[in-house]
């Protein structure tokens, strides 16, 4: 079975045709439990998310702030494995039909085996991978297998990326480009700011791929601001925090569904 890179591209194109940004939700696999994480993905899609990133929990998530680190700790203590991540992708995709990507650091894939990981992700119906810490110059093996299995390779660019570097990164990527709006780790912020808009402009000058912005968006107002200049708005910590703050799992699902609804309205106000 081939992966769903085409579904990812058509989903982003459909949002553009509606003159809006796509809403991309991030949730870690295995949080609060494997089953609970699958239900959370279904809830954000029911609320209005167009695309979902499933996080592969890691013991040393260098780019993630305290909220996602807490969720990763819960998932790892619960014994989450790569098989559970694949199951999350499969069941979430079968239930929702939206593109599901995996966001992961490189080390777990390297240990698991690139061919095995890409084959299993494609078989589960995955659309691709976001690889925040894989240097482009070391990505040939990954890209070869991802392409073979119909998976997108999404690289992350940052405000510190020079223009020549941006061109190298975007030429190697597929699906979309993940623009990190600020230097630093993930987490909700009071403002997403001009740095992100400048980065999107510089990135667009190098590629025809959609440019989606993450790191810091937590409410409809910020989603609308980012939707004004980006092809997609990526929200993670706000969804995770909604689950962490909820008194029980049912309340957590209601909270993420409701937040997705607010954000979905936000991305339509450009």
Summarize pLDDT for 93-147 with one digit per residue, the tens.
Answer: 999 999 999 999 999 999 999 999 999 999 999 999 999 999 999 999 999 999 9
Q: Which of 39, 50, 64, 84 is catalytic?
A: 64
Per-residue model confidence (pLDDT) at position 61:
64
Distance CA(64)–CA(168), nearest Å, equals 25
Query: How would residue 66 be classed by pLDDT, with cut points 50, 70 and 90?
Result: confident
Per-residue model confidence (pLDDT) at position 190:
53
User: Mean pLDDT across the stretch 207-229?
Assistant: 92
Please check whether residue 229 is in contact with residue 209, taking contact to mean a CB–CB distance below 8 angstroms.
no
Per-residue model confidence (pLDDT) at position 181:
75
CA dihedral (265, 268, 269, 270) in degrees, to 10, reads 150
Strand partners, 28: 55
User: Mean pLDDT across the stretch 170-179?
Assistant: 97
pLDDT tens digits for 183-206?
444 555 555 567 889 999 999 999
pTM, two decimal places: 0.94
> In 125-230, where do the E strands start and end?
128-130, 152-154, 156-157, 177-180, 211-214
Q: Residue 137: which residues within 8 A CB-CB, separation 6 or more?
A: none
Per-residue model confidence (pLDDT) at position 215:
74
Q: Which of 50, 53, 84, 225 is catalytic?
A: 53
**53: annotated active-site residue:** yes
Tokens of 245: 């703050």
**110: annotated active-site residue:** no
What Cα–Cα distance (Å) separates residue 252 from each residue in 37, 74, 89, 247? 11, 15, 20, 7
Please check whether residue 237 is in contact with residue 263, taking contact to mean a CB–CB distance below 8 angstroms.
no
Nearest to 132 by CA among 234, 243, 15: 234
Per-residue model confidence (pLDDT) at position 185:
47
Percent of the chain's residues with pLDDT above 70 = 94
Per-residue model confidence (pLDDT) at position 43:
98
DSSP letter string over 224-270?
HHHHTT-SEEEE-HHHHHHHHHSSSHHHHHHHHHHHHHHHHHHTT--
Q: Half-sphere exposure (CA, 13 Å, Cβ side) for 94?
A: 9
pLDDT tens digits for 164-174?
999 999 999 99
Query: Mean pLDDT in the chain?
Result: 93
């Amino acid at each position: 079975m081939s992966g769903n890179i085409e579904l990812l591209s058509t989903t982003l194109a459909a949002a553009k045709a509606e003159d809006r940004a796509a809403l991309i939700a991030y949730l870690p696999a295995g949080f609060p439990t494997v089953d609970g994480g699958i239900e959370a993905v279904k809830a954000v899609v029911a609320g209005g998310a167009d695309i979902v990133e499933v996080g592969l929990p890691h013991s040393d998530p260098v780019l993630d702030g305290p909220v996602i680190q807490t969720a990763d700790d819960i998932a790892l203590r619960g014994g989450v494995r790569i098989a559970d991540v694949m199951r999350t992708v499969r069941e979430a995709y079968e239930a929702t039909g939206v593109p599901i990507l995996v966001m992961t650091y490189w080390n777990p894939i390297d240990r698991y085996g690139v061919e095995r990981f890409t084959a299993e992700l494609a078989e589960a119906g995955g659309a691709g991978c976001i690889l925040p810490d894989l240097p482009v110059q070391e990505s040939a093996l990954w890209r070869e297998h991802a392409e073979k299995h119909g998976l997108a390779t999404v690289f992350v660019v940052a405000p510190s990326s020079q223009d020549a570097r941006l061109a190298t990164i975007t030429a190697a990527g597929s699906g979309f480009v993940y623009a990190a709006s600020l230097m630093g780790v993930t987490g909700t912020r009071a403002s997403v700011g001009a740095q992100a808009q400048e980065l999107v402009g510089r990135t667009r000058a190098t590629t025809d791929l959609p440019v989606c912005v993450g790191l810091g968006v937590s409410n409809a107002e910020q989603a609308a601001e980012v939707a004004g200049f980006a092809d997609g708005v990526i929200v993670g910590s706000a969804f995770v925090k909604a689950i962490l703050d909820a008194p029980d799992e049912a309340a957590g699902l209601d909270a993420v569904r409701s937040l997705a609804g607010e954000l979905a309205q936000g991305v339509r106000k450009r």
